[in-house]
Structure 1
Amino acid sequence: MKNIFLFLLFSCLSIQAQQQISGIVKDFKTKKALPFATIKLDNNETFTSDVDGKFEISTTKKINSITIQYIGYSSKEILISSKKYYSILLEPKIDSLKTITINSRNLANSIIKKVIAAKNENNPQKKLNSFQFNTYNKLIVSTNPDSIQGKIDSIFVEKEFGKELKKIDSTEFKFKKIIDKQHLFLAEKVSKFQFSNPVLKETIIGSKMAGFKEPIYELFGFNLQSFSIYDDKYELFETNYKSPISANSLSEYSFTINDTTYIDNREVFLIYFKNNRKKKGLEGLLYIDSQNFAIAKAVMRIRGVIDITGIHDFVFLPEYQLWFPSKKTFKISKGKSKERTSFLGGRIVFEADDDENKTKKSTNFTYLLSETNINNIEINTPINIKKSFVKVSVNESATSKSEEFWNENRTIAIDERGIETYKVLDSIAEERKLDRKIRFGRKIFNGYVPVSILDVDLRYLVSYNNFEGFRFGFGGVTNEKLFKTFKLDGYTAYGLKDENIKYSLGISTRVGKISNSWISLGYTDDLREIASTTFAIDKRVFKLYDPRPINISTFYNYKTWRGQIETKIIPKTESLWQLSYSNIKPLFDYTFIQNGTSFKGFNITTAMVSLQWNPFSDFMQTPNGRLEIEKRFPKFTFQFTKTLPNLFENDFDFGKIDLRIDFEKKYLNGQKSAVLVQSGYAFGAVPITHLYNTSPNNLTKDNLLQRVTIAGKNSFETMFFNEFFSNQYVFLQLKHGFKRIELFKKVKPELVMVTRMAWGNLENPEKHVGIEFKTLDNGFFESGIELNKIFKGFGLSGFYRYGPNQLSRFEDNLALKLSFILDLGF
């Protein structure tokens, strides 16, 4: 008992001895902040102001005075009193400032050139064959309670005879009471990193997320900052920037020396850098070792709608003459914006800047802070990385670690507010059934409504097309509440116009958990658009509406038995292997002539493999399956289909090869470019049902306004239905989207420029009797403008048809389309 008392007494004394001061460093005349000024304490500790000239100092040693230094300015000593905040103004050395600035820039440029030249010698991932280490990460969303006044406001409204009390706003008072006791969010993670040139893999050993029994694994894949400071591109909050030490960085960045200091008893230069070309570009501070020109510390900063800071700390390893990462820090706080800004699902919200009312709201003090400590470093030891194509792997037992495990592995203390955060959020989550709501939300996002053991499929409820009219149906799939490794699926539908019932039944079983492999059997009796191109491996995408089929009138009925295997066993690839037998019946006037025989219906037995390969993406293996956590382009989709002539009364011998390449590029200014290339080649005796129509989406109406429909996705808006058919084609689409422009307060359209073109050919067109069509030998071209999200997701687009297949009447080459983009905030 005595020991406990002494310990508590010592802890209290330590807390009382903690001294904290903060402030800002500015230019005496201009009052502009001086970024990364050096603050030296009288006890020889050194601190640095941030990019806004602000600093916070916390130390257990008594501070009597601080000295502030900045190159080109006279140093200033400040005596510390009882004040907590200091505004410090430095006077420039007028006579020598210009010379000092020029000399510091020349010297800084010279140092940066040496840093770039020595990158491979100082980069652990280039110099070392292998290494491994453990990390502890703590991520919090919180607010400093001292920054909130916590007052109760009285809100008045003007009346004829004076002001009248409308309501009492206690929001800030209640918020301060909450934030005094807990954080808004807290998550912890313990990982093991392994590197064997060139692979770097993270294995998550333990994870905790306040309010969640099972963590949201997608958050683990969210890349807040680059692991390496030496890459040509530096990533900060999912955005790539040109690194200040990349090749030719001197043409884009300006560098100045702020000071010299010591880290691990080695002299380092403090070099401030700033992007000269981009207003919202990267800026920060590099601590450069004066002997080997390696980076001993780095501060990377972006200022904009939100302020983002990434800090990299290193430790010097004398035996390897190498600076190795020791800590990473990432912080997001409010920047300057005229709009309300939210992210991470609305957990962090920043109110718009108000020029008239300077009073900040509580949410503007909210910040996200992620700290990662690195320990147990092992260099050049033999390492065998399993499943190296997976960047992040989550152990099965990661979410069930004991409190003893966390006490052993925490290298950053959890304070009382952190402990209370777990208690409060876990109890709230239990009371409000948060896990159940998240599960429900995931299902809804994919187009399902979970009802007991069944996930009802929203796609089948209601739709419309020109052949069936309104189509009503019901379908779904059994979920994990019934079986985790077995499922039944099916649907039934009825068309009011064709008065026929369609249905499908299927059964599946999982044969591989890690590879998420399923074997399925099924039977379907339904309709499909003729000559449509589909990739079987494409992920199921739920839409509130599917606009293009509304205008389709030419379908064929197919009755198909199928067996298939779907798996992710091939690295960075999803594949589907299928064997099927189909009875095909065109539901329009059509005859296919083959070897002198006329076919109005036919049987087809096919083998098919469909692959999607994402070679540049990063993946995470979780206990629930594999996730694509970093989508990178290009992506490749391949499909091969071949009939089996001597199996199950197959009528025709033909094959199809289909290829698709997707490419997207996002720019720092909010713009985005996309390129889509798609081609197909069908050989042999191919009926029109299995040819290519290149996705037309225009009605055969005389009047332009009569042809106004809803725009499709990647479809030719000026091409009429059934106008062209091909057995071989290539399709190219170019899109460039500009940043949304505010025309009025709630009218902010997104301008997208679109160009589409296709070339094709049809061999033996005389075999297809009963339907008129043309071929794409001379190509088809259209360009247009999309004004998306003009208001509440609704938009308008216009397209023009030109080139060899342009029509004689000008109006017939135009197409006006409506659009709707649903933004769920995911």
Structure 2
Amino acid sequence: MNGSKKIGIGILLLLSIGFHSALAQSTTVKGLVTDSKTGAPLPFVNVFLPGTQTGTATDAAGRYELKFDSPKDSIRFAFLGYKDVNVRIQRGKEQVKNVSLESTAKNLSEVVVKRRRERYRNKDNPAVELIRLVIDNKSKNRMEHYDYSSYNQYEKLEFALSNLSDKIRNGRLTRKYKFIFDNQDTTKMEGRSLLPIYLEEKLSDVYYRRDPEKKRTIVTADKKVSFENYIDNRGLSAYLNHIYQDVEIYDNNMMLFTNQFLSPIAGTAPTFYKYYIADTITTASNEKLIELEFYPRNKTDLLLQGKLYITLDGNYAVQKADLTANKEINLNWVRDFHLYLDFEKTADGRYFMNKSTLMADFGIFKGSSGIYGERTVSLKDMKINQPMPEAFYNGPRLVENVETTAKPDSFWVQHRHDTLTTAETKVYGNIDSLQRMKSFRRTMDIATLLLAGFKSFGPVEVGPVNTFYSFNDVEGFRLRVGGRTTPKFNKSIYLESYAAYGFKDEKWKYYFGGAYAFNKVSIYDWPIKAIRANYQHDTKIPGQELQFVQEDNFLLSFKRGNNDKWLYNDIYNLNFLHEFENHFSYQVGFKHWQQTPAGSLSYYKGPTLTDSVRKLTTAEFSLELRWAPHEQFYQGKNFRIPIPNKYPVFTLRAIAGVKDVFKSGYNYQNITLNIYKMVYLSSLGYSEVVLEGGYIFGKAPYPLLTIHRANQTYAYQLNSFNMMNFMEFVSDHYASLAIDHNFNGFIFNKIPLFKKLKLREVVAVKMLYGGLRSENDPNQNPESIQFSKYADGRSFSYTLSKEPYIEGSIGIANIFKIIRVDMVKRFTYLDNPLVAKWGIRTRFKFDF
């Protein structure tokens, strides 16, 4: 009997253990949550066990994974604006449950909710108290909190044509490209059919050291769609990544589409945002999160809205974020965007951002065809406080070698952090096939001619077309034709030439130039290491300096006031430019310059102006030092344009004129320092600030001194004085300050009509102090070349006195999204002859 009891007790014990073991079996459910109508993934859907606080939320791609030990046999999916769904599951197993949620939007018109509106306050608001705890703990939740960190990073940048009409897809000109139009994706974005046209992927190993701060990025693989025959791929990539910059929610300001948005956890955020606690959830790992909603106090300001998921473990870190902009802000081209941030817990209990996804719909009109852009950055294999050898951090910040980063498809399948969609996998081959089609190449040639102004003939391009015809007071009607080589001619050698003829002065002008790149790449491809040599025989307006624009551009032929003070120049140039990986560069050069006055400009000596000076000849040696931290360029095949960022640019130039070198007649030294800074002021917009100063040592005639940059065209120029006449002011020492501020619609967005038109307000002020020392002042030295005069005896040129030259402007920008119109007023030196006190100037600029 006792034995039977023991056996029975043993059996009951085994059954009990088995029963409890069954109850304790772990269940894993994962899958994808989508919209039932569009098939688009739904991020941040709540997935939880009914009647418990165990749950999770879908990520930016709509995927979820929930692990639990509860005996529950169903899970629930809940999302604002959608019907809740319960799904039966099998306990103790790993299973996939893909769910489609049905929108309740169609029923909203049948529901009327009335409640008393309470005044929002920060005081005694638990949501505000929570966000202040997040702000107070920002420093320890940043990745920079660690002395050392390293991780593997995957980046994917994609652009697609959105909602192309049947007329375009089935048009006579596009039928032959049917294989392109068939590759469409309807799951990425709700209500949008996407046709991928550009894809870029990059894998990198990133290493960070806090003190002294250094971040090294070693690119291990790089793959992108290539339009190399028509667009410089590196330049296109730099510009697109500038639009889709890395974002850090723990920064006070977040750069999105070249605009600065105040972070919802910035120190001043509670002044600009409203916060509400929406829910409390528990993750699969039993961590409690607060779901916090936030909205801008003023919907017209450049601010964000969305949801934050905050940890309650004492770190008060952001665990997830869903950010977008309210629909009423003044943002160009971007019809809608979402930024999703996911954070992963480290071994020490803190969180780091392991994935960010920025999705945007670009277009001119709401609901029409447009462009969809998406950038995903994923981090994994995070290592904390495992330093590399000290010498490792002394290497370049970015290591990228085209030969070592080109990897086969098998490598990408194994190493990319996420799989590509079917449409994405086809885009590389489709674009490659497209470029082999003669009709496409012919279309791109025409587009290049219209947009870039050059017609390609294999290794040579002819252009630019906007300089073929122009006119001025000295040359009259001017014709010009020119060309340049392309990398197809030779990657290391660049040649350029043009010839022009003026029908009024009946003179030929011409230019010959060449360059050689020692690093075997294009001479415009950063970092440059190249030598250049050229000779130019042509006209020039003294004091006119244009950036990125040819001086004989047809549109610049139209000028205000008197415009007949010109030079015939014969210039030989030789220089060597060396740029380094840390964005420091130096340039050494030699210039031999022979200038001959033309038009109403003439050079005379003596008190009676009888001693004519036909030519001035100088020989100059120069050194330029430039430092532009983190500078990026929009890189073309034969040009590059800097992309502004928040870092200053320093340029120091030193020029020495040497007498008796190739018949040079003067000894002098010229030093100038230029500092450029883009200053971002969050919702108040941004300012472009330029501070410049110069000093000329030695004695020199006034044409070799600083003739301040003037502008007599009707175009608004940031780097010139727009109400100053050509050659009006000359100095041998000066200091100038220019501030150009764009409010980005901060004021106009509060005025209904201006808000509807998306206009933006701009203001600018420019000041110039300067003067001439007595030895360089023609008024005190009759033996020097005297200031030229008008027919009535009044001088062309003047020296600045103790009073500065000042001009300012107010304007309206973003007219038709690209035009800026300024009313410019001149405040000082109004008694000088032929000056205009005010004027209207126009500028074209593409802004987001």
- Superposition TM-score tier, normalisation by shorter sequence: 0.7 to 0.9
Match of 1:239 among 253, 259, 262: 259
Aligned residues: 731
Q: Which runs of 5+ in 2 are unaligned?
A: 1-29, 38-42, 89-98, 168-174, 187-193, 328-333, 521-525, 790-794
Partner amino acid for 1:231? D
**How many angstroms apart in 2 are the aligned matches of 1:83 and 1:529?**
69
Displacement of 1:466: 1.5
Partner amino acid for 1:326? N
**How many angstroms apart in 2 are the aligned matches of 1:673 and 1:816?**
22
**How many angstroms apart in 2 are the aligned matches of 1:95 and 1:546?**
62
Match of 2:303 among 259, 281, 297: 281
Q: 2:792 corresponds to which residue?
A: none
Q: Where does 1:574-653 land on structure 2 (aligned, <5 Å)? A: 574-587=585-598, 588-592=601-605, 599-615=613-629, 617=631, 631-653=645-667
Displacement of 1:68: 5.2
Displacement of 1:733: 3.5
**How many angstroms apart in 2 are the aligned matches of 1:405 and 1:379?**
27
Q: 1:7 corresponds to which residue?
A: none
Q: 1:515 corresponds to which residue?
A: 527
Within the alignment, does 1:313 sit opposite 2:342 as a pair? yes
**How many angstroms apart in 2 are the aligned matches of 1:394 and 1:266?**
40
Displacement of 1:639: 2.3
Partner amino acid for 2:488? K
Residue range with higher mean Cα deviation, 210-219 or 474-483: 210-219
Match of 1:780 among 794, 805, 812: 805
Match of 1:290 among 299, 312, 317: 312
Checking the alignment, whether the CA contact within 8 Å between 2:262 and 2:682 is kept in structure 1 is: no
Cα distance 1:285–1:87, how it changes in 2: closer, same or farther (>3 A)? Answer: same
Q: Deviations over 1:542-578 (max 9, x none)?
A: 8553357785322233333332112323732454321
**How many angstroms apart in 2 are the aligned matches of 1:406 and 1:717?**
54
Cα distance 1:564–1:439, how it changes in 2: closer, same or farther (>3 A)? Answer: farther
Within the alignment, does 1:323 sit opposite 2:351 as a pair? yes
Cα distance 1:541–1:243, how it changes in 2: closer, same or farther (>3 A)? Answer: farther
Displacement of 1:259: 1.0
**How many angstroms apart in 2 are the aligned matches of 1:69 and 1:507?**
64
Q: Deviations over 1:111-130 (max 9, x none)?
A: 333333332222221x2222
Q: 1:567 corresponds to which residue?
A: 578
Does 1 or 2 have the higher relative contact order (CA < 8 Å, sep 6+)?
A: 2
Normalised TM-score (structure 2): 0.72
Partner amino acid for 2:674? R
Displacement of 1:500: 1.7
Q: Which runs of 5+ in 1 are unaligned?
A: 1-16, 25-34, 71-75, 153-169, 334-341, 343-348, 353-359, 699-707
Checking the alignment, whether the CA contact within 8 Å between 2:456 and 2:462 is kept in structure 1 is: yes
Displacement of 1:392: 5.3
Within the alignment, does 1:407 sit opposite 2:413 as a pair? yes
**How many angstroms apart in 1 are the aligned matches of 2:498 and 2:463?**
8
Displacement of 1:184: 2.7
Within the alignment, does 1:117 sit opposite 2:136 as a pair? yes
**How many angstroms apart in 1 are the aligned matches of 2:249 and 2:686?**
26
**How many angstroms apart in 2 are the aligned matches of 1:262 and 1:695?**
63
Q: 2:16 corresponds to which residue?
A: none
Q: Where does 1:306-705 land on structure 2 (aligned, <5 Å)? A: 306-318=335-347, 320-333=348-361, 342=362, 349=363, 351-352=365-366, 363=369, 367-383=372-388, 393-397=399-403, 400-431=406-437, 448-458=454-464, 460-513=467-520, 515-530=527-542, 532=543, 545-547=555-557, 552-569=563-580, 571-587=582-598, 588-592=601-605, 599-615=613-629, 617=631, 631-665=645-679, 673-697=687-711
Checking the alignment, whether the CA contact within 8 Å between 2:483 and 2:496 is kept in structure 1 is: yes
Cα distance 1:646–1:140, how it changes in 2: closer, same or farther (>3 A)? Answer: closer
Q: Deviations over 1:552-605 (max 9, x none)?
A: 3222333333321123237324543211223333334312579x9985434311
**How many angstroms apart in 2 are the aligned matches of 1:102 and 1:554?**
66
Q: Deviations over 1:162-191 (max 9, x none)?
A: xxxxxxxx9xx9999653698434443322
Q: 1:155 corresponds to which residue?
A: none
**How many angstroms apart in 2 are the aligned matches of 1:379 and 1:792?**
46
Cα distance 1:421–1:64, how it changes in 2: closer, same or farther (>3 A)? Answer: farther
Checking the alignment, whether the CA contact within 8 Å between 1:516 and 1:625 is kept in structure 2 is: no
Cα distance 1:119–1:504, how it changes in 2: closer, same or farther (>3 A)? Answer: same
Displacement of 1:606: 0.8
**How many angstroms apart in 2 are the aligned matches of 1:590 and 1:461?**
31
Displacement of 1:396: 0.7
Partner amino acid for 1:325? M
**How many angstroms apart in 1 are the aligned matches of 2:259 and 2:241?**
14
Match of 1:735 among 731, 740, 752: 740
From the two aligned structures, give the one with the greater strand fraction: 1
Instruction: Specify the SS of the correspondent of 1:231.
Output: coil
Root-mean-square deviation over aligned CA pairs = 5.2
Q: 1:195 corresponds to which residue?
A: 208
**How many angstroms apart in 1 are the aligned matches of 2:161 and 2:498?**
50
Displacement of 1:307: 3.0
Displacement of 1:109: 3.3
**How many angstroms apart in 1 are the aligned matches of 2:291 and 2:661?**
75
Q: 2:331 corresponds to which residue?
A: none
Within the alignment, does 1:128 sit opposite 2:168 as a pair? no
Partner amino acid for 1:128? Y
**How many angstroms apart in 2 are the aligned matches of 1:247 and 1:744?**
31
Normalised TM-score (structure 1): 0.73
